[in-house]
Structure 1
Amino acid sequence: MVYYRYKKERVNDKFNSAHEFIIKIRKAVKLYSEEPNEIIARGMSGYFSDFTEYIVDICETYLVINDRYNPRLSGVDIVKSATTFGLMDEYLCNFMIKCIILRNRFTHDYYKRDIAESDIIKFCHSDIMYLDIFLECSNEVVKLTYKLKDKR
């Protein structure tokens, strides 16, 4: 039981870090809107990458907690598997998969990095700005939920 509690505490710590990066992304989007430049764009991409890593890490930890972890899964498959076992709903799963795909393109496709970075900036402006995520954690349930803000 101590191990389980420890793992749930780790999910909470990881969620708090992911949430901090959403806030940093929003600040970077605001700064970029006021004064677009490469330094802010790269910072936004870095925050986005960190946010995505924490989400994958939360999903991995969730699967470990529930004795469902498979070390051979890709980041996308980890998110899908965690969704199958109740961590989040399909909308949030698809949102996170978009994040992973964008992050992977930015990280691994060096020859297309400018295009990937531009796509991340657009995604941050159009989607991440309007998504709040929450972690519901009790003795029985660990679940990621969300609320979409108005895009005015």
Structure 2
Amino acid sequence: KGQLMDAVLDSWGKVGEGADLVIVEGAGSPAEINLRSRDIANMGFATRADVPVVLVGDIDRGGVIASVAGTHLILPEEDRRMIVGYLINKFRGDISLFDDGLKSIETFTGWRCFGVVPWLKAAARLPSEDSVVLERLVSGDARALKVAVPMLGRIANFDDLD
């Protein structure tokens, strides 16, 4: 880890030369405290490079309030101090319906909300960034059976269709 972190910090210095802004994306969650002692991609890097962190919560999977508040709860103080605020990503519908959620997150964490990013349908055309999409692939001959699912403006608990 020591050699790798030194190489990462060296690269960070080179990339940042003459730049007004460098945005660094972490790899995974900052709350994987079981991996923290070997971390060079999330809070390990942020604390060593002394860079501010904006936490991004994915509301599409559900449980985003617990995720952000839980991250605050379990992070060591050194890591927690690096987080300057958070974003909520992939929001569908009327953002004002999440106002109480934002207030709850602020109450639990004290962190500033930098905004709520709406679901962007066009983002589905971007290439997949990791192996998570492999779990969604269908095996076998998909032509053997066709299933039609109506796309409704309002639907909840549609997992029965899976």
TM-score, normalization by structure 1: 0.22
Q: Bigger radius of gyration, 1 or 2?
A: 2
TM-score by length of 2: 0.21
Give the helix-richer structure, 1 or 2: 1
Which structure has more strand as a fraction of its residues? 2
More relative contact order in 1 or in 2 (CA 8 Å, sep 6+)?
1
